[in-house]
Structure 1
Amino acid sequence: MMPVRRDVHPHLPPERICDWHERGHHVTHYINALSIFFPAGERFFMDSVRNYRDQLTDPALRQAVAGFIGQEAMHTREHILYNRLLDQAGLPAARLERMVARLLDLLRRILPRSWQLAHTIALEHYTAMMAGGLLADARHLGDAEAGYRQVWTWHALEETEHKAVAYDVWNAVMKPGPYRYLVRAGTMLTTTVTFWMLVFAFHVRLVMADRTCPHKLLGFGSALQYLWGSPGVLRRMVPEWLDYFRPGFHPWDADNRAQLARIGPLLAEIEATAVRAGASPRAPSIRGA
């Protein structure tokens, strides 16, 4: 599976940034909280893989790394714009982004490059699991506002397309054996605790800062139902999360590449939505990286 860099520009109505999901503000802000992690997170992923690019001898893997970096760069750009809409709505997105950036800068300073890559493959597995669930179950986005549904679907498709690249780099540059497994498994455990603590904290911060959000405390029940009830976004991820700890695990063990057939129609839909909205559409371009 070869990732392809696509220059995509979804149209996001600013007035809907706080309530674009059909389930209301609390579910909207759970997903908005995930966006806050992407600018700094995607840069960390790119750097972690780029650190080992010169050590790769397989031409196909080197090409896949170039495509991975190209896609992550586009995701970074679009989530910077997305998060700017949160700031314009009076929400503390920039402040929270800086917290993520400081944490990842600390990891760059104190961790060896191999452990940075281990954090990347753990977080890439999370993005792959979330993307896979979103693509497999239409209830994840439901009848969301078109632009926001499109940006998250596009991101999910490309996360699926490149979900094994960082892991393949890990396997190529790390000597097989107990140490490789223990670092991979241990990092997933620590990443799980840190990541979800921050997601919860950011979710609460966004909800409490949203002056248009009704029932701020009671409304968290709708998010809990979304995550653990129906559709059970997090509940359905548990088996795939556990699968990561198998010694022979590989991201493509969960083979959902058939979903990638949706990319072409989605690009056309994104452009059509921009035209209908009266935006100046920048036609999505596709370039092999």
Structure 2
Amino acid sequence: MSEHGEHYEIAPRRVAFDWRRTPLHWIPDEPTATHVINVLHLLLPAGERWFVKVFKEGLPLIRDPELLKDVKGFMGQEATHSVQHAYVLGHLAEQGLDTGPYTRHVDFLFDVLLGERPPRGIPVPAEEWLRFRLAVIAAIEQFTAVLGDWVLRAEGLDRAEPDPVMLDLLRWHGAEEVEHRAVAFDMYQHCGGAGLPRYPRRVLGMAVTAPVITYLWAWGAAYLLRHDPELAGRTRYSLREHNRAVRKGLLPTWRELGSAVPRYFRRSYHPSQEGSLRRAVAYLASSPAARAAAGAAGRAAVS
């Protein structure tokens, strides 16, 4: 991908995080904001594994060497994201919050409903099924780019003095989402066919993705709050508490999230318009986890 005409190389960073001191409510006294953000950990391990599987199916269709390099970098980053968020699920389980009953539904969504073959024998040609799933990934990546840019700018989170390890995870991940924000879109445009159906299929991908993500996120936040052992059922997910967290800058505004959809529907749209690559790269240069990974890679190279 490129910004201002210069190609930017996308590469995975083999980061690691130590969760031993991270409390269950990693934003102090803010269980709703904590668990709304924690839904990321419920969705991303299965979702990003699925991204990699679908992109592997599409690799033989790529005829552009530069795009192929970007796609492989994207796959490496997404595989690392999946692993690191899965570790958080283990940490939540150690603190008495079992996410299995929820994540089994997420696994079913990606592994069965959006698996290699259409579910229940729906008669969709293999090439068209692949293109549809690539359109869904491009739509999801629209939201991850918006969220990634938000978390890099979220001064409200800094003021709340959250757990530094969790904040670094979120900002490292968010920065990489901004880094590769256009790859899934470019992959879809390249593999989605040259004719008229390419744009309607892109619109369909978003029309399916936006309501499903909204539903899964609300359900996930409600699940986490309901099963949080420290709350013992005293707190439920509510729009009132969600909006209170938004006003404090702990969550993105509804406008920030909702406006991502009409932008995406413009025929002339390209995700390079989302966020700031400069801001993302600057964070990755200061991220404790990314710096440690770079140091480990450097030591390995000279040993």
Counterpart-to-counterpart distance in 2, 1:218 and 1:81:
24
Deviation at 1:12, TM superposition (A): 2.1
Distance 2:100 2:296 in 1: 27
Match of 2:11 in 1: 4
Aligned-residue sequence identity (percent) comes to 25
Q: CA deviation at 1:116?
A: 0.9
TM-score, normalising length: structure 2: 0.83
Q: Deviations over 1:159-207 (max 9, x none)?
A: 1111111111111112234311111112212211111111111111110
Structure 1 consecutive aligned stretches of length 4 or more whose deviation exceeds 6 Å: none
> C-alpha distance in 1, partners of 2:64/2:230?
53
Q: Deviations over 1:80-110 (max 9, x none)?
A: 1101111222223122222111111221231
Alignment of 1:214-229 (within 5 A): 215-217=234-236, 221-227=240-246, 229=247
2:284 paired with 1:263: yes
> What is the match of residue 278 of structure 1?
none
Q: Which runs of 5+ in 1 are unaligned?
A: 272-280
Correspondence 1:248 to 2:260 = no
Give the Cα separation in 2 of the matches to 1:162 and 1:136.
18
Structure 2 matches for 1:190-205, cutoff 5 A?
A: 190-205=208-223
Quote the RMSD (CA, aligned, Å).
2.4
Alignment of 1:1-289 (within 5 A): 1-13=8-20, 16=23, 18-22=24-28, 24-105=30-111, 106-108=113-115, 109-110=117-118, 112-140=129-157, 142=159, 143-213=161-231, 215-217=234-236, 221-227=240-246, 229-231=247-249, 233-235=252-254, 236-259=256-279, 260-267=281-288, 271=292, 284-285=296-297
Take 1:119 and 1:4, find their aligned partners in 2: how far apart are those partners? 23
CA distance in 1, matches of 2:295, 2:30: 31
What's the secondary structure of 2:265's corresponding residue? coil
Of residues 106-115 and 181-190 in structure 1, the stretch that sits farther from structure 2 once superposed is 106-115
Counterpart CA distance in 1 for 2:181 and 2:258 is: 18
- Structure 2 portions without partners, runs of 5+: 1-7, 119-123
| Structure 1 contact 9–270 (Cα < 8 Å) conserved | no
Secondary structure of residue in 1 paired with 2:63? coil
How far apart, in 2, do the equivalents of 1:174 and 1:141 lie? 41
Please tell me whether the aligned partners of residues 74 and 183 of structure 2 are also in contact (alpha carbons under 8 angstroms): yes
Q: Which of the pair has the greater relative contact order for Cα pairs under 8 Å at 6+ separation? A: 1
Give the CA deviation at 1:219: 7.1
Contact 1:9 1:282 in 2 (8 A): no
Verify the 8 A CA contact 1:13 1:147 in the aligned structure 2: no
Moved more, 115-124 or 214-223: 214-223
What do residues 19-61 of structure 1 show as CA deviations (whole Å, max 9, x unaligned)? 1014511111111112110111001111222211122122111
Letter in 2 for 1:139: G
Secondary structure at 1:242 match in 2: helix
Q: Distance in 1 between the 2:53 and 2:237 partners?
A: 41
Contact 1:25/1:207 (CA < 8 Å) preserved in 2? yes
CA distance in structure 2 between the partners assigned to 1:248 and 1:219 by the alignment: 37
- Matched residue of 1:7: which SS? coil
CA contact (8 A) 2:175 2:284 kept: yes
